[in-house]
Amino acid sequence: MRVAKLFVLAVFLMIALTVAPAAAKDTIKVGAILGVTGPASFLGAPEAKTLEMLVDDINKKGGVKGKKIELIIKDSSASPEKAISFAKQLIEEDKVFAIIGPSTSGETMKIKNIAEEGKTILLSCAAAEVIVNPVAKYVFKTPQKDSDAVIKIFQQMKKMGITKIGVLSSNTGFGKAGKEQIEKLAPEHGITILVNEVYDKAASDLTAEVTKLKAGNVQALLNWSIEPAQSIVIKNARQIGLDVPIFQSHGFGNIQYVQAAGAAAEGVIFPAGRLLVVDELSKKDPQEAVLAKYKKDYETKFKEDASTFGGHAYDALMILVKAIENAGADKEKVRDAIENMKGFVGTGGVFNFSPEDHNGLDINSFEMLTVKNGKFSVLKK
């Protein structure tokens, strides 16, 4: 009797096991590892919302090539340890078609090899250039390169006649990668770094750091971080009367940072994609239509301001969808399709991928922005 029961159970299990993959064949599984909560939630939360919105939309319209997308979002809270285990889980257990994310550079670097070994396409939403330099076969990224951001800032400094600067960065992957680029590129652009300080990502007050900058008589402050600390730093700088121009990284592209810093944020200069200033773009701009639609959809659905970070997830998913449309649902072919994609208009810029360039964006994808009356605005030269 007992044996019979076991036998029935085994048969059921076998049916279940064979049926499940058959059902899954009709969907394309896309994994996403995003820092929805935790210190990088400024990035991860809009990214996750964007993906959910887009996937709903695509599935309502019948999916990609007749297949629905099944989105699996994992919240890594910006912890590299969690990102590693989620990456393994997505690749080995869920057998996803591709992974979008992670949100931060530190996490992406930790799972770069895992994606490479698992032969799974990884479309990172993080900024550091090291993600795609050296190029890894399966790893792509959608945000602009941090080296381009640094060059753009240095060019602006040159225009303003600034040569001596103070650099602050946080002890995260993003901060470290940015600091390296700044140190590497400064001599070429005739910039001298007088003060170079690293602070903890959970820092609650940075008065001492900005005091050191004031003591060093710098002509400008350049801060590189993605945490709330970047609001704290400008507040403290203004409080102690350090009234030099303040430059931030492209990580400043979320209006919440401006709101958090209030009056202190006025006049902060930073490079960013054009999403933030879509109202000021001319209709002739190739990105205008894409940006205006994404911004409107996002803002009507979630009742909060769209940020460039959500845009990175938009680009990642849409590039993947476009590649699947062109090449069919085959991992290798899709990978090749992404690598050879040219002229894809996304929120970050116009992407031109090549076997040497897995980012596809150049320095022109950045615009110098500033904060005016609590809003982002194009910096008038």
Partner 1 sequence: MELFFQYMVAGITYGAIYSIVAIGFNIIYNTTGIINFAQGEFVMLGGMIAVTLNNFMPLPSAILATVLITMIIGALIEMIFIRWLVNPSVLRMIIITIGISIIIREAALHIWDEKVRALPYFTGTEVTSILFFGAHISPQVLWVIGICSVVVVLLNLFFNFTMRGRQMRACASNRNSARLCGINAKNMVTLSFVLSAGIGALAGCVISPITYVHYDSGAPLAIKGFTVAIFGGLGNSMAAVVAGLILGILESFSI
User: Which residue ranges make up the site for partner 1 (CB under 8 A)?
Assistant: 36-39, 41-42, 45, 197, 202, 204-205, 207-209, 211-212, 214-215, 228, 231-232, 235, 238-241, 256, 260-264
Query: Could you tell me which of 169, 105, 149 has the C-alpha nearest to residue 269?
Result: 149
Beta carbon nearer to partner 1, 131 or 242: 242
State the angle between helix axes of 331-339 and 308-327 in degrees (0 to 180), rounded to the nearest 10.
Answer: 120
Show the tokens assigned to 9.
């159970």
To the nearest whole angstrom, how small is the minimum distance from the Cβ of residue 107 to partner 1? 16
To the nearest whole angstrom, how small is the minimum distance from the Cβ of residue 82 to partner 1? 14
Beta carbon nearer to partner 1, 10 or 215: 215
To the nearest whole angstrom, how small is the minimum distance from the Cβ of residue 266 to partner 1? 9
Beta carbon nearer to partner 1, 41 or 147: 41
Beta carbon nearer to partner 1, 77 or 89: 77
To the nearest whole angstrom, how small is the minimum distance from the Cβ of residue 359 to partner 1? 27
To the nearest whole angstrom, how small is the minimum distance from the Cβ of residue 42 to partner 1? 8
To the nearest whole angstrom, how small is the minimum distance from the Cβ of residue 242 to partner 1? 9
Beta carbon nearer to partner 1, 62 or 262: 262
Beta carbon nearer to partner 1, 99 or 264: 264
**In which order are the strands placed within the sheet that holds 269-272?**
192-199, 164-170, 220-224, 246-248, 269-272, 367-372, 375-378
Beta carbon nearer to partner 1, 101 or 349: 101
To the nearest whole angstrom, how small is the minimum distance from the Cβ of residue 297 to partner 1? 20
Contact 250, 151 (CB under 8 A): no
Contact 237, 213 (CB under 8 A): yes
Question: Which residue carries 């959500």 as its tokens?
Answer: 310
User: What is the C-alpha to C-alpha distance for residues 303 and 301, in angstroms, rounded to an integer?
Assistant: 6
Beta carbon nearer to partner 1, 77 or 377: 77
To the nearest whole angstrom, how small is the minimum distance from the Cβ of residue 164 to partner 1? 18
Beta carbon nearer to partner 1, 114 or 306: 306
To the nearest whole angstrom, how small is the minimum distance from the Cβ of residue 259 to partner 1? 9
